[in-house]
Amino acid sequence: MILSIYSLDKRFKLFMRYFYVVLTILFTVYGQIILKWQVTQFGHMPQSISDKVVFFSSMLISPWVISAFISAFLASVAWMAAMTRFQLSQAYPFMSLNFVIVVALSAWLFQEPVSMQRVIGLLFIIIGITIGSQG
């Protein structure tokens, strides 16, 4: 009985370590995708300084952009929690998953092209994360 409780406690702690890293990744990716979506909704940046002020002010009061900023803040909080459970050099390589997820979502949501070179680069990132997380 004691062994099974110890085993469950150990698994829960392991789960929580990675949970905070996953939250960091999800909040970061959400923020990036939302910002890209909103920027495309607002169009090209104007030339004049006064029009730029209006352009950015309009974006900054958008509820979606505000949610992206909140997401960035929450990603930072989750990262701080992750840092209490990991060494930086052990956890940080997982942040590279942001690149993989953002490229996949950009291709799907924004129809951005994904070249074979980019796919190979993403595969190297995944291989690097796999190798780096072992040590």
Contacts of 13 (CB under 8 A, 6+ apart): 85
Question: CA-to-CA distance for 107 and 93, rounded, in angstroms?
Answer: 23
Q: Give yes or no for a contact between 27 and 71, defined as CB atoms under 8 angstroms apart.
A: yes
pTM: 0.84
Rounded to an integer, what distance in angstroms lies between the CA atom of residue 5 and that of residue 7? 5
The model's confidence at residue 106, banded by pLDDT at 50, 70 and 90, is very high
Give the pLDDT confidence of 45-100 residue by residue, as tens digits.
Answer: 999 999 999 999 999 999 999 999 999 999 999 999 999 988 888 888 889 899 99
CA dist 80 and 74 (Å) reads: 10
Report pLDDT digits (tens) over 25-41.
Answer: 999 999 999 999 999 99
